[in-house]
């Protein structure tokens, strides 16, 4: 069974802090890496889909990088805001299947 | 607005009863998926379907069944054979299918929380 690991499990930061999370995945047979944001009482929402080694994507204050050779991706949030509080999921695609990590819970205090 | 609708939001059943969770999408997506979430674990794939009248088992298909008679609908039945059915269930869809689907993000419903006592 393929294993996708996310760290840390949870994170509490102050408003304005910058933060980052890690997603580790098996690098063999890799197709794509997805990041999702899951706010309480809402459905998970796609942030990024990355496929190429060295890919970097940005959406506002959130950015992500991908290293397919060593099997990791970083998600960065610059100047965290309370509305960034959510669970951040990464998932790695292998063929027709998307394998999810357990997520990183981010809480931003104002 | 296009989206995925899961119903009901909460479902309570007695042990030994089958129960069907609804998932409908109007995004015209070909692929649909069912995931299960348990505390402290990632979303785990139960079943997926890439085209009408076809579906494949995911990693934890035992005790579940699905059908895909229409493009818009992918209901999940939790049977009495599922040993630990209490969980949060998420339905998702994506398009296109095949190799092009690797770049396609999933669109999720709001989920159904099933409690079996």
Quote the CA–CA distance of A25 and A88 in Å, as a whole number.
15
Distances (CA, A) of B69 to B15, B51, B64, B77: 28, 9, 17, 14
Interchain contact, B106 vs A51, CB within 8 Å? no
* Residue ranges of chain B whose pLDDT lies below 50: none
Q: Which residue of B has its CA nearest to A90?
A: B42
Model pLDDT, residue B102? 67
Q: Dump the DSSP string for B66-105.
A: E--SBTTB--EEE-TT-S---EEEEEEEESS-GGGGGGPP
Q: pLDDT tier at A90 (50, 70, 90 boundaries)?
A: very high
Instruction: Determine the pLDDT at residue B67.
Output: 98
Give dist(CA B52, CA B71) in Å, integer.
6
The reported pLDDT for the residue numbered B101 is: 65
- Chain B residues in contact with A1 (beta carbon < 8 A): 59
Give per-residue pLDDT as tens, B97-115: 665 666 789 999 999 999 9
- State yes or no: pLDDT of A95 exceeds 90: no
pLDDT of A2:
77
pLDDT higher at A49 or A97:
A49
Across the interface, which of A6, A43, A91 has its CB nearest the CB of B110?
A43
- The dihedral through the CA atoms of B88, B91, B97, B102 has a sign that is negative
Buried b or exposed e, range B70-79, using 16+ CB within 10 angstroms: ebbebbbebe
B5: Cβ–Cβ under 8 A, 6 or more apart, which residues? B22, B23, B24, B25, B109
A1 pLDDT more than 80:
no
**Cα gap B48→B54, rounded to integer Å:** 9
Q: Is the peptide bond between B85 and the residue preceding it cis, with omega within 30 degrees of 0?
A: no
Q: What local confidence, expressed as pLDDT, does residue B23 receive?
A: 98
What average pLDDT does the segment A77-105 reach?
A: 94
pLDDT of residue B40: 83
pLDDT on residue A29: 83
Residue B87 dihedral angles phi and psi, to the nearest 5°: -175, 175
Contact B42 A101 (CB under 8 A): yes
Q: Do B40 and A102 touch (CB under 8 A)?
A: yes
**Please, which pLDDT band fits residue A83 given cuts at 50, 70 and 90?**
very high
What is the pLDDT at residue A94? 84
Q: What is the DSSP letter of A82?
A: G
Contact flag A34-B106 (C-beta cutoff 8 Å): yes
The DSSP 8-state label assigned to residue A83 in this structure reads: G
């Amino acid at each position: 069974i393929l294993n996708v690991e996310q760290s840390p499990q949870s994170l509490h930061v102050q408003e304005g802090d910058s933060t980052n999370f890690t997603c580790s995945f098996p690098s063999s047979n890799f197709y794509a890496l997805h990041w999702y944001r899951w706010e309480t009482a809402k459905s998970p929402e796609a942030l990024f889909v990355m496929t190429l080694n060295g890919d970097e994507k940005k959406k506002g204050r959130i950015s992500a990088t991908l290293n397919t050779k060593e099997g990791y991706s970083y998600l960065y949030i610059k100047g965290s805001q309370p509305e960034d509080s959510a669970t951040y999921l990464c998932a790695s695609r292998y063929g027709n299947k998307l394998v999810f990590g357990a997520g990183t819970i981010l809480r931003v205090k104002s | 607005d296009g989206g995925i609708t899961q119903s009901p939001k909460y479902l309570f059943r007695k042990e030994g009863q089958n129960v069907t969770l609804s998932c409908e999408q109007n995004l015209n997506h070909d692929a649909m998926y069912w995931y299960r979430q348990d505390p402290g674990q990632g979303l785990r794939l139960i079943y997926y379907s890439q085209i009408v009248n076809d579906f494949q088992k995911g990693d934890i298909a035992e005790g579940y069944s699905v059908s895909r008679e229409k493009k818009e609908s992918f209901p999940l039945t939790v049977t009495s054979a599922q040993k630990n059915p209490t969980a949060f269930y998420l339905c998702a869809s994506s398009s296109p299918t095949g190799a092009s689907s690797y770049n396609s993000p999933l669109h999720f419903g709001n989920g159904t929380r099933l409690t079996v006592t």
